[in-house]
Amino acid sequence: MATSGRKHSGRSWRSANAYIQHARVSHANKSAILFPNLEQDDTTGSAEQAAEVNAGLLQRLQQLSDTPLDPAKPNQTAIAASLSRSLCFINRAINEEADLRPRILIVQKSSDVSEHYIAIMNGIFSAQKKNVAVDACILAAEHSSFMQQAAYLTGGIYYKPTDHSGMLQYLISIYLPDPYMRKLLRLPSQDSVDFRAMCFCHREVISTAHIQPKKNGLLKNIRRIDHQLQNDQTYDR
């Protein structure tokens, strides 16, 4: 997940790194910072410095990938946490420099996690309020209804490439242009957006659900609600 906010000057197309202000990775139950490196001063003023930044990103990404997983935990990808923390970073950056026009790019390889529906939607609405476009590049086998809604509601781009070997071209030609340049380009558009919610019990996209008010949940089966709320006599059907 990358956050960009630097204004285009027309002279710094030599490196996409020049536009990245913040990069996070969503791992199993964890959201970690990749850039900037808190232990050193990361800069992208020259090609040599950009190469050092890239090497540092790959090193930290490899370290996180080599971290053993906890078999006692569900090990779900923490995209909701990364989105929330990226928005916190953006909010602080906007307060320091009001002219910033930040965007968020989410590259997602995992499937949607139903339990994260509310957290992700809260993040989407926060981004919409701050005029932060959320772009999504989906590498998973199936489409992401969460990211479809995020891109649609915030004015971002949702795209699911069929050929992953052309990732560099996709990132530069589709996601790098700012909102003003995008109006002049023919970019992928969403033919349809799935606004349906996802139930917490079956992890299925549903049109009708039963509300579990005390736990902020959407469940497909009313019996599941009865089982989970045996001591609760007030819930909607």
Q: What is the pLDDT of residue 128?
A: 96
Q: Which residues contact 67 (CB under 8 A, 6 or more apart)?
A: 27
At 224, give phi and psi (nearest 5°): -65, -35
CA distance 50 to 16: 10
Residue located via tokens 């772009």:
135
Q: Could you tell me where in the chain the CATH 3.40.50.410 domains are found?
A: 2-182
Q: How far apart are the C-alpha atoms of 54 and 57, rounded to whole Å? A: 5
Query: What pLDDT is recorded for position 13?
Result: 34
Report the candidate in 134, 182, 179, 148 with the shortest Cα–Cα distance to residue 1: 134
223, two tokens: 């019996």
Model confidence pLDDT, tens digit, residues 131-190: 999 999 999 999 999 999 999 999 999 999 988 888 889 999 999 998 888 989 989 887
Average pLDDT (208-235) is: 48
Measure Cα distances from 170 to 35, 140, 163, 167, 202 in Å.
21, 16, 10, 5, 34
Higher pLDDT, 45 or 191: 191
Q: Which two tokens stand for residue 61?
A: 């990404």
Residue 228 pLDDT > 80, yes or no? no
Task: Report residue 10's pLDDT band, with 50, 70 and 90 as the boundaries.
Answer: very low
pLDDT at 45: 52
Higher pLDDT: 195 or 62? It is 62
- Classified by CATH at the fold level, domain 2-182 comes out as Rossmann fold (3.40.50)
Percent of the chain scoring above 70 in pLDDT? 67
Average pLDDT, integer, range 16-35: 71
Contacts within 8 Å (CB) and 24+ apart, 50-57: 50/15, 50/17, 50/18, 53/17, 54/17, 57/23
Predicted confidence band at 32 (pLDDT cuts at 50, 70, 90)? confident
